């Protein structure tokens, strides 16, 4: 199991956040994502250990989602294409932001045999179609780099909300896969619930949320020594495929 610091497990969800949820989720039926349950769950071609389960907010710590070789191969595929990471601004456009100091690359769905295998594994793990996931993003953080606290869901009050959700709808869950073990720092921190997860190569952190859920506020803590590699898959409420598959 990863090292983790538990400070508290309490979070307040304001009336404003409840209003955001009601406004931010569309009426179409959401994919029935299966939250992985302990002690072990099958994920297509592999079995994954669920070493931590938190019900509210929904968080799962998954051990052995990727092999060491898969982690190394994914890093190798990403290295030549790394560019400065961007964020989705309130306008709906992507832009460089000083709160996210890293480099990343997004792979097309099924772009390589490895990408396809991992996407199919994630789909089997969560029982959600592959095309309900955004393109897999691989990110590298060097010493001193971080991603300041943020939400993954899109705020319906932002001017660019319609553009953000036109294809695929709202984000409903995130899967952060750790591709290496940093020498020091780089944990994933949830300030509002007092949890910090230490990255361990091959493990993953899954968390689900609703628009307006304050407990999902999280940050990639600064890397203090060495570097940190992650692969992230964001899940949407509808298919991102133009054909609807």
pLDDT at 28: 46
- Tell me how many degrees the CA angle 99-102-107 measures, rounded to the nearest 5: 120
Asked whether residue 107 is assigned to any structural domain, the reply reads yes
Asked whether residue 116 is assigned to any structural domain, the reply reads yes
The answer on pLDDT for 220 being more than 80 is yes
Asked whether residue 243 is assigned to any structural domain, the reply reads no
The answer on pLDDT for 114 being more than 90 is yes
Q: What is the DSSP string of 71-139?
A: HHHHHHHHGGG-EE--EE-TTS-EE--TTB--EEEEPPTT-SHHHHHHHHHHHHHHT--GGGBPPPEEE
Asked whether residue 62 is assigned to any structural domain, the reply reads yes
Backbone angles phi, psi at 74, to 5 degrees: -65, -40
Asked whether residue 224 is assigned to any structural domain, the reply reads yes
Domain with residue 89: its CATH number is 2.60.120.620
Which of 182-191, 214-223, 234-243 is predicted with the least confidence, judged by mean pLDDT? Answer: 234-243
pLDDT band at 107 (very low <50, low <70, confident <90, very high): very high
**Where in the sequence is the domain holding 132, given as residue range(s)?**
4-236
Number of folded domains that form the chain: 1
Asked whether residue 86 is assigned to any structural domain, the reply reads yes
Backbone angles phi, psi at 122, to 5 degrees: -65, -45
Asked whether residue 241 is assigned to any structural domain, the reply reads no
C-beta of residue 74 within 8 angstroms of C-beta of residue 166: no
As a whole-number percent, the residues of the chain with pLDDT over 70 amount to: 86
d(CA 37, CA 62): 10
The answer on pLDDT for 89 being more than 90 is no
pLDDT at 31: 56
The answer on pLDDT for 194 being more than 70 is yes
Asked whether residue 244 is assigned to any structural domain, the reply reads no
pLDDT at 30: 52
Exposed, middle or buried, 234 (CB in 10 Å: 0-12/13-18/19+)? buried
Q: What is the mean pLDDT of the chain?
A: 89
Q: What is the pLDDT of residues 141-191, one digit of tens each?
A: 999 999 999 999 999 999 999 999 999 999 999 999 999 999 999 999 999
Q: What pTM did the predictor assign?
A: 0.87
């Amino acid at each position: 199991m990863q090292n983790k610091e538990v400070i508290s497990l309490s979070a307040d969800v304001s009336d404003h956040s409840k209003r955001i949820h009601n406004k931010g989720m569309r009426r179409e039926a959401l994919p029935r994502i299966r939250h992985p349950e302990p002690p072990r769950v099958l994920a297509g071609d592999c079995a994954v250990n669920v070493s931590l389960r938190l019900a509210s907010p929904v968080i799962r710590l998954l051990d052995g989602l990727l092999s060491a070789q898969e982690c190394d191969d994914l890093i190798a595929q990403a290295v030549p294409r790394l560019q400065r990471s961007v964020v989705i601004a309130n306008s709906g456009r992507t832009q460089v932001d000083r709160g996210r100091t890293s480099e990343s690359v997004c792979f097309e769905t099924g772009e390589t045999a490895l990408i396809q295998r991992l996407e199919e594994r994630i789909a089997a793990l969560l029982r959600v179609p592959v095309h309900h996931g955004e393109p897999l993003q691989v990110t590298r953080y060097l010493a001193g780099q971080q991603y300041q606290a943020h939400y993954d869901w899109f705020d319906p009050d932002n001017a660019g909300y319609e553009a953000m959700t036109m294809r695929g709808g709202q984000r409903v869950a995130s899967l952060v896969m750790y591709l290496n073990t940093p020498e020091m720092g780089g944990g994933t921190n949830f300030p509002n619930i007092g949890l910090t997860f230490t990255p361990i190569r091959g493990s993953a952190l899954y968390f689900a949320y609703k628009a307006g859920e304050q407990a999902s506020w999280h940050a990639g803590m600064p890397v203090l020594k060495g570097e940190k590699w992650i692969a992230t898959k964001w899940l949407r409420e509808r298919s991102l495929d133009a054909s609807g598959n």
